Amino acid sequence: MTKPMSTSKTELVSYVRKKKITFTLLGLFLIIGILLDLALPWFMMNITNAAVGQETERFMLFFWVGVMILIANVVFSYFDTYLKVYIASYVRNDLRSRTFNHFLKLPLNYFDKNHSGKLGSRLTNDVNLIGDLMGRTSMTLIKSPLIAVVAFVTLLFLNWQLALICGLIGPLTLFVGKVFGAHIRKVTNALQQRMETIVSFVQDTFTGIPVIRTYSLEEKMDREFKDSSDHIHELEMKNGKLQSFMQASSSFISILTFLVAFGIGSYFVIEERMEIGGLVAFIQLLNYIVWPFTGLAHVWGQFQESLAASDRIFESLGEQTALDHFKLQNKVKDFKEIEFVDVSFTYDETKVINHFNFKLEKGTNAAIVGANGSGKSTLLKLILNLYDYDGIIKIDGRNTKDMSFEELLSYFALVPQESFLFPGTIAGNIRLGKEHASMDEVISAAKVSNAMRFIQDLPSTFDYQVGERGNKLSGGQKQRIAIARAILKDSPVVLLDEPTSSLDRESEKVLVKTISDLMENKTTVVITHDLDIIKEADVIIVLQDGEIIETGTHRELIQNKSEYYHLLNSDINANVAI
């Protein structure tokens, strides 16, 4: 659900309030910029008239005035550009940080429904567009019509007849921009969506390279990528044609305006109804009307695109986080039990966990078994409050939803089915369990997890770079690093989700020994298909369609010849975690 939030425009205005001094300076520079722009035609008119009239002293006076205008323009341009870059960079940096921080706190189902490529686009393309809006685009939108109005009023004083004639032709460029701008925005939006799709496709492809190689899918993936790339090319060409038509039409009208002004103005000079310097100033002032109108439609399109980007960003920032309802409490010092009270969970209208009730006491090792889709992995995610659920999960009598997220996670260490390693060193990945752990603590955790057996054979041992997603290590090695991370965290409860499922038999044997040792010293909840691990559990929970259908030890359940017994004797090892 999206929580009530201010409109994107209100959010953008808040940046103006935060940096009101900077925006005040930008407003002041905008006025100074307009005055300097208008000073140039005035200078050109006077120095031209002085030259034509052979007024040497007056010519030299305005020559030095022109030098001062030039210097003032350079200084002003530097500070004006710097402030725009500063504001744009400030907004980008703040929005990137806010959005990334917010993404980290969103519930897991948000990431289930939104591809990582799309979220990445929010942090890059959308944020950049909003930065441009706050820095350059908004100032251009304010300055362009303002200077055009001031320039037109000045033209009226120079020659009102010529000003009115040109005034009728000039705004045609705005009409052209408006006509083409609507189509360009439509194509640009389609292009942005297609780019998000192809970025997501590339991410998925590179992540799945092993599968692609195994099944010889190179031609298929290349064909799909080429189809998407061709579609982007078609959209880019369509956008290029529209831009070309708009540019050509605007250029035609602009040149026509200047030709009319120069032609009629020259006639007025011949008739002595206008000075040559006045005509020069008129042409220069005309630039401030024609070119703003020519570029205004394009800038307006950028403005609309930036507003659309801000809507997307602030919609994401309006998403309810998984942590909003937590209240800060003190960290846990002891642990006695976890209790599930009538816990249910529905995902996309499908009941995944149904009225789950169970109590796990300190020092107990529980194994959860059942067919795929019975809700085993979901149960671990509910323990960690990664999904919202009905019912109550209590730790030592306290509702976990009343705990801070930091306190809740201090109870648990998780070893997932596929351990994710971040690019960096082995030591750095183990230290994710305890950020400021000493090297002795890291080595100790590696020894307990049996990771030391392979680490000591690596070229740079704990400083070995694991590569992207840990691809320089085997599956078993990554799992032992993950267990070392969990050991280093030293939480009272360890959750293990199919830790041996993707390993070869040799790696599995090593890991089984590691997990067995872990189960002697910790409270554990393990989802596994490995019978050696299951036999050592104090209690086995058998799930079916999200419900507990039986519990007991391995011996008890075998003797009862119950569902667990049938799972052990069925030939469906690939589909059942037992």
For residue range 228-273, what is the model confidence (pLDDT) as tens digits? 888 888 888 888 888 787 777 777 777 777 788 888 888 888 877 8
Token pair in block for residue 510: 């090593």
Closest CA to 469 of 423, 413, 425, 501: 423
| Residues 6 or more apart whose Cβ sits within 8 Å of residue 178 | 297
pLDDT for residue 8 is more than 60: yes
User: What per-residue confidence (pLDDT) applies to 577?
Assistant: 46
Predicted confidence (pLDDT) per residue in 510-540, tens digit: 666 667 666 666 788 888 777 777 887 888 8
Q: Is 286 domain-assigned?
A: yes
The verdict on 88 and 211 lying in the same domain is yes
Residue-number span of the structural domain to which 529 is assigned: 332-411+517-578
pLDDT for residue 295 is more than 70: no
Q: Is 511 domain-assigned?
A: no
The verdict on 275 and 368 lying in the same domain is no
pLDDT for residue 5 is more than 50: no
Task: Residue 60: count other Cβ atoms within 10 Å of its Cβ.
Answer: 12
CA-to-CA distance for 260 and 547, rounded, in angstroms?
Answer: 84
**Of 255, 288, 317, which residue is a domain's last?**
317
The verdict on 252 and 339 lying in the same domain is no
The secondary structure of residue 431, as a DSSP letter, is G
- Mean pLDDT taken over the chain: 77
**Of 288, 317, 346, which residue is a domain's last?**
317
Highest averaged pLDDT of the listed ranges 83-87, 120-124, 140-144, 417-421: 83-87
The verdict on 346 and 304 lying in the same domain is no
Sheet holding 337-347, edge to edge: 350-361, 337-347, 390-395, 398-399
Over its C-alpha atoms, the chain yields an Rg (Å, rounded) of 35
Query: Which backbone phi and psi does 558 adopt, to 5 degrees?
Result: -70, -45
The verdict on 176 and 269 lying in the same domain is yes
Closest CA to 483 of 428, 415, 436, 530: 415
The verdict on 122 and 267 lying in the same domain is yes
Query: Which backbone phi and psi does 423 adopt, to 5 degrees?
Result: -55, 135
CA atoms in the 13 A half-sphere facing the CB of 91: 30
Token pair in block for residue 413: 């260490």
The secondary structure of residue 411, as a DSSP letter, is T
CA-to-CA distance for 403 and 412, rounded, in angstroms?
Answer: 13
Q: Is 220 domain-assigned?
A: yes
Q: Is 282 domain-assigned?
A: yes
Q: What is the CATH number of the domain that holds 201?
A: 1.20.1560.10
Q: At what angle do helices 276-317 and 172-207 cross, to 10 degrees?
A: 40
Q: Is 455 domain-assigned?
A: no
Vertex 47: Cα angle to 42 and 52 (nearest 5)? 130
- Contact indicator for 92, 124 with CB cutoff of 8 Å: no
Tokens 């189960």, residue located: 519
Determine the residue type at 416: P
The verdict on 96 and 123 lying in the same domain is yes
Bridge pairing between strands 390-395 and 337-347:
antiparallel
For 147, counting Cβ atoms within 10 Å of its Cβ (0-12 exposed, 13-18 middle, 19+ buried), the class is buried
Range in 1-10, 122-131, 486-495 the model is least confident about = 1-10
Q: What is the CATH number of the domain that holds 351?
A: 3.40.50.300
Closest CA to 316 of 143, 104, 578: 104
pLDDT for residue 575 is more than 70: no
Q: Is 78 domain-assigned?
A: yes
- Contact indicator for 318, 2 with CB cutoff of 8 Å: yes
Tokens 């080429």, residue located: 226
The secondary structure of residue 465, as a DSSP letter, is B
Q: Is 353 domain-assigned?
A: yes
Predicted confidence (pLDDT) per residue in 182-214, tens digit: 677 778 778 877 877 787 777 777 666 656 665
User: What per-residue confidence (pLDDT) applies to 227?
Assistant: 86
Global pTM reads 0.65
CA-to-CA distance for 396 and 194, rounded, in angstroms?
Answer: 51
**Of 317, 352, 374, which residue is a domain's last?**
317
As for how many domains the chain has, the answer is 2
The verdict on 96 and 244 lying in the same domain is yes
pLDDT band at 413 (very low <50, low <70, confident <90, very high): confident
Determine the residue type at 134: M
Residue 49 CA from chain centroid, whole number: 58
- Contact indicator for 89, 131 with CB cutoff of 8 Å: yes
User: What per-residue confidence (pLDDT) applies to 1?
Assistant: 42
User: What per-residue confidence (pLDDT) applies to 173?
Assistant: 66
The verdict on 336 and 312 lying in the same domain is no
Report, as an integer, the average pLDDT of 415-424: 78
The verdict on 392 and 528 lying in the same domain is yes
Report, as an integer, the average pLDDT of 106-115: 68
pLDDT for residue 134 is more than 50: yes
pLDDT for residue 166 is more than 80: no
The secondary structure of residue 350, as a DSSP letter, is E
Range in 227-236, 359-368, 560-569 the model is least confident about = 560-569
Range in 223-232, 281-290, 446-455, 515-524 the model is least confident about = 515-524
Q: Is 81 domain-assigned?
A: yes
pLDDT for residue 490 is more than 60: yes
Token pair in block for residue 193: 């969506």
CA-to-CA distance for 41 and 150, rounded, in angstroms?
Answer: 13
**Backbone torsion region of residue 371, taken as left when φ is above 0, otherwise alpha when ψ lies between -120 and 50, otherwise beta:** beta
CA-to-CA distance for 517 and 506, rounded, in angstroms?
Answer: 17
The verdict on 386 and 255 lying in the same domain is no
User: What per-residue confidence (pLDDT) applies to 447?
Assistant: 84
DSSP string over 507-559: HHHHHHHHHHHHHHHSEEEEE---HHHHHT-SEEEEEETTEEEEEE-HHHHHH
The residue that leads in pLDDT, 167 or 330, is 167
Token pair in block for residue 489: 């965290």
Q: What length does the chain have?
A: 578
User: What per-residue confidence (pLDDT) applies to 330?
Assistant: 45
The residue that leads in pLDDT, 246 or 383, is 383
The verdict on 256 and 382 lying in the same domain is no
User: What per-residue confidence (pLDDT) applies to 314?
Assistant: 78
